[in-house]
Structure 1
Amino acid sequence: MSFVLALSTIKVKINNMKNIGIIVDNDFNNDIRVKREADILKQKGFNVVVLCFAFDNKEYDLIPGLTIHRIKMKKKIKDILFFLFNRLPLYELLWKKEVRRFVQKYTIDVVHVHDLYMSKAVHVAIKPLDKKIPIILDLHENFPYAVQSYNWTKGTLRRWVSKPQAWIKKEAEYLSYASKWIVLSASFREELLQRYSFIHENDIFFFPNVINFREFEQYNINPSLKRTKRVTLMYFGGVAERRGIFEALQVFEKGLENNLNIDLLIIGPIDKADKTKFLNIIHQPNLKNNINYIPWIDISELVSYMHISDIFLSPLIKNKQHESGVANKIFQYMYGAKPIIVSDCKPQQELIESCNCGLSYSTQEEFLDCITTLIEDEVLRRELGANGFKKLYEKYDNKEYENILLALYN
Structure 2
Amino acid sequence: MRIGVILDKEITKDQRVLNEIKILESHGHEIHVLCPDLLNIGLSGNIGNIKIRRFKMSNRQREILFGIVNRFPLYNWIWQKQVRHFIAATRVEALHTHDLYMAKPVYMGNRKYHLPITLDLHENFPAAIQSYTWATTFPKSLLVVPKRWEKLEKKYLEYADNIVVLCHSFQEELKQKYSSLAKKRFVIYPNVPDVEELLQYDPLSITIPKQDFIMFYFGAIGVRRGLISCFEALKNLTPNYPDIKLLLIGPIDKGDRELFKSYMEDPRIREQIIYYKWKDLSEFPAFARQSAIGLSPLIKNPQHDSGIANKVYQYMLFETPVLVSDCTPQLELIEETGAGMVFRNEDVEDLIEKIIYLYQHPEERKHMGENGKKAVLEKYNSVEVGNALNAIY
Instruction: Please give the TM-score of this superposition, normalised by the length of structure 1.
Output: 0.92
Q: Which has the higher contact order (CA 8 A, sep 6+)?
A: 2
8 Å Cα contact 2:206/2:286 also seen in 1: no
Following superposition, the deviation at residue 50 of structure 1 comes to 0.5
Say how many residue pairs are matched.
390
Q: 1:217-228 residue pairs with structure 2 within 5 A?
A: 217-228=199-210
The answer for the alignment partner of 1:172 in structure 2 is: 154
| Aligned with residue 190 of structure 1, among 165, 172, 176 | 172
Could you tell me how far apart the structure 2 residues matched to 1:180 and 1:56 are? 30
The answer for the alignment partner of 2:320 in structure 1 is: 338
Gaps of 5+ in 2: none
8 Å Cα contact 2:10/2:39 also seen in 1: no
The answer for the alignment partner of 2:56 in structure 1 is: 72
Q: 1:9-408 residue pairs with structure 2 within 5 A?
A: 18-58=1-41, 62-127=46-111, 129=112, 131-200=113-182, 203-259=185-241, 261-362=243-344, 363-397=347-381, 400-408=384-392
8 Å Cα contact 1:225/1:304 also seen in 2: no
Could you tell me how far apart the structure 1 residues matched to 2:39 and 2:192 are? 30
Partner amino acid, structure 2, of 1:113: T
SS of the aligned residue for 1:149 comes to coil
CA RMSD of aligned residues (A): 1.6
8 Å Cα contact 2:193/2:313 also seen in 1: yes
Deviates further, 235-244 or 59-68: 59-68
Could you tell me how far apart the structure 1 residues matched to 2:241 and 2:98 are? 47
Partner amino acid, structure 2, of 1:65: N
Partner amino acid, structure 1, of 2:243: N
Could you tell me how far apart the structure 1 residues matched to 2:370 and 2:202 are? 19
Partner amino acid, structure 2, of 1:372: I
Could you tell me how far apart the structure 1 residues matched to 2:253 and 2:36 are? 21
Following superposition, the deviation at residue 61 of structure 1 comes to 8.7
Could you tell me how far apart the structure 2 residues matched to 1:193 and 1:172 are? 10
8 Å Cα contact 2:195/2:382 also seen in 1: no
Could you tell me how far apart the structure 2 residues matched to 1:184 and 1:389 are? 20
Could you tell me how far apart the structure 2 residues matched to 1:398 and 1:288 are? 38
Per-residue Cα deviation, 1:375-407 (whole angstroms, up to 9, x for no partner): 111111111111111111122248542221111
Following superposition, the deviation at residue 314 of structure 1 comes to 0.6
Could you tell me how far apart the structure 2 residues matched to 1:44 and 1:294 are? 38
Could you tell me how far apart the structure 1 residues matched to 2:143 and 2:197 are? 42
Following superposition, the deviation at residue 201 of structure 1 comes to 6.0
Question: Residues 61, 353 of structure 1: CA spacing in aligned structure 2 closer, same or farther, 3 A cutoff?
Answer: farther
Could you tell me how far apart the structure 2 residues matched to 1:248 and 1:54 are? 37
Could you tell me how far apart the structure 2 residues matched to 1:31 and 1:171 are? 23
Could you tell me how far apart the structure 2 residues matched to 1:280 and 1:398 are? 39
Could you tell me how far apart the structure 2 residues matched to 1:388 and 1:121 are? 40
Could you tell me how far apart the structure 2 residues matched to 1:264 and 1:124 are? 47
8 Å Cα contact 1:225/1:308 also seen in 2: no
Question: Residues 197, 311 of structure 1: CA spacing in aligned structure 2 closer, same or farther, 3 A cutoff?
Answer: same
Per-residue Cα deviation, 1:300-333 (whole angstroms, up to 9, x for no partner): 1100111111111111011000000111111111
8 Å Cα contact 2:206/2:287 also seen in 1: no
Following superposition, the deviation at residue 261 of structure 1 comes to 2.7
Identity, % of aligned positions: 39
Following superposition, the deviation at residue 229 of structure 1 comes to 2.2
Could you tell me how far apart the structure 1 residues matched to 2:155 and 2:381 are? 35
Could you tell me how far apart the structure 1 residues matched to 2:206 and 2:296 are? 26
Structure of larger gyration radius: 1
Could you tell me how far apart the structure 2 residues matched to 1:226 and 1:247 are? 23
Instruction: Please give the TM-score of this superposition, normalised by the length of structure 2.
Output: 0.96
SS of the aligned residue for 1:29 comes to helix
Gaps of 5+ in 1: 1-17
Could you tell me how far apart the structure 2 residues matched to 1:324 and 1:215 are? 26
Deviates further, 95-104 or 397-406: 397-406
SS of the aligned residue for 1:367 comes to helix
